[in-house]
């Protein structure tokens, strides 16, 4: 049996060879104060090295090794006139205030470190962090809607809650669902965003981001990069204006922190900061601390989990109890498959693998999208985007492949 992989992507190379641990990257905008005793931090480093050091360059000059965690909600200021001027400047521009922090809903030093690091890894000027991935997406929709650009063109499948938010118009948006080939024709004068996810949740379908970006014209392309992470692809290099992450997943990596982030240029980041301040969807400093720590191991976690996922996909594809396997050409740690038997029996039969929502943790998770993550999507829309009733989505962790296969083999039942 062949593994079902995307035929639309022209830029991926298959397997896990796309891990970018040896690629050199360069920050487009080094953070202030990052010229330290070790030289120019904007010098070229490999991706894996940047993942470890980005956002931490000033620590040696501070006499620190571990990142400081600032839990303050407010900060003292004895010059109220100057403070008023700084607040006015933020309200007018959305730029981070110079000098010490003002209020935690406006900015936080620990969160700012995570934002600096993520922007470096995604190859964008800036990044703005939020309390969750959905808060991050909501901020993007609100930012464009405030400019009268409430129409969104979107390609299914997307994460179920993203689909629901767009389809219900809860934030005043109107969505047109299209195939990739229909993007250009669906764009209107009031179109604010084109949204895609690749590899997609949960089918792992892939899109050619360069071709999609070309179809968008001058409309910003928002690409959800949660599944691939910047280890496997950097959508900004392929034309995406906005790169969305549910940081809860691979960026955090341990199932113990919730957050979201948008990587983008500084112009749009300023608008997002204003939306974040007004709506209160801020990332807690402890979450920012944990996410920054998660980035330091992102490359090695993705490399290990991707190798295991590729092997499990291979074994599942050769198993007569499995009708179809979905694994992206890009590689990665996500596998989807459709058993011939009852998928709910597989969910109920695992013992090592955890049957749970979410993904990207160090332990392997499995769930039934039609019942859980995408149940909120109308049945007809689920089916038309490839989310069948037998489909199972598995997020592969760091366990030994032999142990995981033994658990799957038992859960799949007799031949």
* Catalytic status, residue 159: yes
User: Of 124, 152, 126, 125, which is closest to residue 140 (Cα–Cα)?
Assistant: 152
Cα atoms in the 13 Å half-sphere on the side-chain side of 105: 10
**If you search the block for the tokens 């933020």, which residue do you land on?**
90
Which of 56, 234, 249, 324 does the annotation list as catalytic?
249
* Catalytic status, residue 289: no
* Catalytic status, residue 105: yes
CA distance 219 to 190: 10
| CA R_g for the chain | 21
Which of 20, 56, 150, 159 does the annotation list as catalytic?
159
Tokens of 306: 């991707």
How many Cβ atoms are within 10 Å of 340's Cβ, its own excluded?
Answer: 14
User: Of 195, 291, 287, which is closest to residue 243 (Cα–Cα)?
Assistant: 195
Which of 107, 224, 319, 407 does the annotation list as catalytic?
224
150, 176 Cβ separation under 8 angstroms: no
| Exposed/middle/buried for residue 168 (C-beta within 10 Å: 0-12, 13-18, 19+) | exposed
User: Of 66, 27, 21, 11, which is closest to residue 47 (Cα–Cα)?
Assistant: 21
345 backbone dihedrals φ, ψ, rounded to 5°: -70, -35
Tokens of 153: 């063109």
Q: Find the length of the chain.
A: 415
CA distance 377 to 190: 25
CA distance 282 to 71: 13
102, 86 Cβ separation under 8 angstroms: yes
Which of 70, 75, 103, 105 does the annotation list as catalytic?
105
CA distance 340 to 342: 7
User: Which uninterrupted H or E stretch holds 167?
Assistant: helix 160-168
CA distance 162 to 222: 12
Known catalytic residues are 105, 159, 224, 249
């Amino acid at each position: 049996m062949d593994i079902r992989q995307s035929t639309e992507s022209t830029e991926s190379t298959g397997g896990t060879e796309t891990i970018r641990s040896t690629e050199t990257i360069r920050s487009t905008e080094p953070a202030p104060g990052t010229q330290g005793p070790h030289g120019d931090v904007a010098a070229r480093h490999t991706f894996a090295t940047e993942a470890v050091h980005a956002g931490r360059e000033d620590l040696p000059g501070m006499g620190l090794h571990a990142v400081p965690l600032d839990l303050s909600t407010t900060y003292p200021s004895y010059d109220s006139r100057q403070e008023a001027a700084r607040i006015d400047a933020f309200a007018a521009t959305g730029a981070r205030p110079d000098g010490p922090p003002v209020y935690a809903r406006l900015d936080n030093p620990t969160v700012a470190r995570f934002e600096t690091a993520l922007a470096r890894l995604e190859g964008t000027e800036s990044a703005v962090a939020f309390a969750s991935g959905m808060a991050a997406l909501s901020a993007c929709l609100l930012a464009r809607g405030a400019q009268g650009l409430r129409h969104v063109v979107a390609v299914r499948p997307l994460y179920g809650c993203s689909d629901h938010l767009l389809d219900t118009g809860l934030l005043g948006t109107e969505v047109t669902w299209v195939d990739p080939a229909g993007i250009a024709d669906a764009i209107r004068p009031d179109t604010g965003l084109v949204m895609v996810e690749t590899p997609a949740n949960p089918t792992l379908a892939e899109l050619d981001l360069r071709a999609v970006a070309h179809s968008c014209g001058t409309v910003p392309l928002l690409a959800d990069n949660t599944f691939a992470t910047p280890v496997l692809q950097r959508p900004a290099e392929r034309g995406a204006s906005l790169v969305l992450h549910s940081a809860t997943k691979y960026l955090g990596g341990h199932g113990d922190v919730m957050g979201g982030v948008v990587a983008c240029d500084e112009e749009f980041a300023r608008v997002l900061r204003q939306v974040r301040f007004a709506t209160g969807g801020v990332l807690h400093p402890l979450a920012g601390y944990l996410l920054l720590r998660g980035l330091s191991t992102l490359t090695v976690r993705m490399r290990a989990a991707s190798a295991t996922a590729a092997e499990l996909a291979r074994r599942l594809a050769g198993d007569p109890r499995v009708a179809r396997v979905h694994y992206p050409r890009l590689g990665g740690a996500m596998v989807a498959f459709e058993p011939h038997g009852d998928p709910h029996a597989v969910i109920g039969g695992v013992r090592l693998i955890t049957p749970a929502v979410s993904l990207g943790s160090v332990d392997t998770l499995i769930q039934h999208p039609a019942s859980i993550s995408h149940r909120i999507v109308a049945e007809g829309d689920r089916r038309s985007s490839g989310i069948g009733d037998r489909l199972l989505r598995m997020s592969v962790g760091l366990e030994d492949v032999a142990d995981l296969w033994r658990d799957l083999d038992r859960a799949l039942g007799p031949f």
